[in-house]
Structure 1
Amino acid sequence: MDKTILVVLTIAAAALLHTAAADHSTVHVVGNQLGWTVPPGGAATYAAWAATQIFELGDILVFNFTTGDSDVARVSKEAFLTCNSTNPITLNTTGPANFTLDALGDYYFISTFQNHCALGQRLAIYVIYAPAPAPFPYIYPPPRAPVTWVVGDNFGWFVPPGGALFYATWAFGKDFRVGDTLVFNFVNGSSDVATVTKDAFFNCTNTTISVYSTSPANITLTTPGDHYYTSTYPRQCIFGQQLAIYVYGSASNEPSPSPSSRSSGAPTTSAYGPSSGISKAPARVSGLTGLAITILSIAIALFH
């Protein structure tokens, strides 16, 4: 095949990939309301936050910090693991700092301020990209009977001492499926459970889908996808009484209907790199994505 044609096809595919990424880019505010700071829960804080996100080509990270109090450096994996800020790949000292995810794979960020990284101000993510209509990029766990999950285990459903991280940590790594049941234990008259939309969850508004006011509240998971829960009692959501989970197709291992959702426990790769066991979810994709991949595949095949 003429190399000129290969170049043209490659440029066309790259242009489509750029368009697809631009059309579907998402802004991720690192740490949500916490921002980019030394976290109260140590390194697990940003690991738990990353586990709730899908990072895709073209997405943007926003690091909110006060100029002079912190900074954000992109570093190598080795520098991330050892908190070595000597030779960062990039360094931004002015907050808020925006970072565009322009390549696939691992990204590592730390603060270069003294001891900030060691105290947990570091973030590792994995940027993914999957062509439609590709299957999920992970192997489904084996079929099983429905499971009853007691939310928060012995702690129950209350305003947690560690804020929103508490329930994010509890949900992390769990294999929720259609047919399973969530049990929310709380004191009647002091709390409730509300199923809410994604916007209501992140903004802590009382736009509810349903409300359960009697404990224990047993909620059977009947649909796959994202599920969000908070309390309607004043300020309890703001103080961390909120739970977000992803539900797979069924307890008998049927796939979920769309490869565009995130996972709270898919047994694949990690926010700390492809082999450390933290979940990585499938990407949002578009028709342009599939076309771009097809063009590249044809070009490579013809070239060889």
Structure 2
Amino acid sequence: MGSELKYLAVLAITLAALLHSTAAQETHVVGDKFGWLVPPGGHYAYEVWAAGHKFSIGDILEFNFTTGDQDVAKVTKQAFDSCNSTSPIELKTTGPANFTLDTIGEYYFIGTKDRHCELGQKLAINVTAHSGSPTPSPSPKPSPTPRGPVTYVVGDQFGWIVPPGGELAYSAWAYGKTFYVGDTLVFNFVNGTQDVAVVTKAAFDNCNTNSTVAVFTNSPVNIILNTTGELYFTSTYDRHCELGQKLAINVTAKSTGTATSLSSPTTPSSHAPSAQSPAAPGPYNSAPSMINGSGYFVSFLLVALSFFH
């Protein structure tokens, strides 16, 4: 009788552990609603997505894609870095494809279709021991190497538009870039179809374009970053902001690489970034810096390639 009770106790503990593990299990849909495809934003797109998730043992990665158009391969770090799909650890060609995260450490996934990996269809994640594990502190970043002013074309080849992927499109574009005082943002668009509005954080969050700091209507618009802090840009065209035409960046001091948060000024400041046309040597106007501490990493831009190419 005693041995049977002991056996039942052990069984109960085991079942409880299994139930707890099952309850803690989470399914992560890679790319969320946009799924697994070649991202126009390059490899930064999936880095943005992964940065917003915590992966634990027992969790599942779900790759949603159209069978025949995409595939997903689990590979080594070396294969990931070189986009070598010749000898994958595991290859799945039918969507949706699920991978269970059963060990701690780093996992690497790529698309093996022609040049898909080179074009950014690749995902690297790190799995912690379990859902209750503390998040390790990030290693301190080295001081940035001094450099001259850099000109950034917002959105690169697809420019300043209403992005089909929503506001995370420009988050993906800005991710991984360091903006210093003295750098320039270039907004390219078709005149009469877009504009560039410098706004406060509150206006940015609420898409309220009734009160703007500055508005520029002639493309290209060059915004010179002449102060530290965080800046907010959107469009005043009807519903463009709500549909995702918005960009938030942080500008750091050039010499030290440290960011200085500025309070919310209510009037234009002479220390704010200026915008100027290539045809005019002087600035059009100045705009105050604002701060955006939300740091949203939820999902990212993943849309049809034909739209951007």
Q: TM-score, normalised by structure 1?
A: 0.47
Higher-Rg structure is: 2
Greater RCO, CA 8 A, separation 6+: 1
Q: TM-score, normalised by structure 2?
A: 0.46
